[in-house]
Amino acid sequence: EAGVAQSPRYKIIEKRQSVAFWCNPISGHATLYWYQQILGQGPKLLIQFQNNGVVDDSQLPKDRFSAERLKGVDSTLKIQPAKLEDSAVYLCASSLALPGETQYFGPGTRLLVL
């Protein structure tokens, strides 16, 4: 069974530029998560989707971050404009729809903002 796919794996941009990350969850997983992992810290949830609806986006900086999950499968996370403090690894995870189900993580996208 294929795992969670993410692209790109690495991205370097200048501050104030925009960037987008893509995630393809495990087939059949209705729940999709985006986490931000800053160096030396644990991952922090940015947004959680159930199918194509948002369940939790309380930690998403909505003035610059946006995410969508059209058709309830793939998802895109965008940052516009980027700031230096956005340098981090962006992790996508997916799980079955039931609460408490195991989350499976993708390899992450490492973003460096200069």
Partner 1 sequence: GDSVTQMEGPVTLSEEAFLTINCTYTATGYPSLFWYVQYPGEGLQLLLKATKADDKGSNKGFEATYRKETTSFHLEKGSVQVSDSAVYFCALSDLGGSWGKLQFGAGTQVVVTP
Residues 2-41 that bind partner 1 (CB under 8 A): 4, 31, 33, 35, 40-41
Residue 95 within binding range of partner 1, rule CB under 8 A: yes
φ and ψ of 28, to 5 deg: 90, -10
Rule CB under 8 A: say whether 85 interacts with partner 1: no
Residue 91: C-alpha distances to residues 22, 23, 53 (Å): 10, 9, 19
Report in angstroms how near the CB of residue 113 gets to partner 1 at its nearest.
21
Provide the minimum distance between the beta carbon of 19 and partner 1 in the complex, in angstroms, as a whole number.
Answer: 19
Contact status: 91 vs partner 1 (CB under 8 A)? yes
52 sits near partner 1 (criterion: CB under 8 A): no
Q: Which residues bind partner 1 (CB under 8 A)?
A: 4, 31, 33, 35, 40-45, 48, 50, 55-56, 91, 93, 95, 99-108
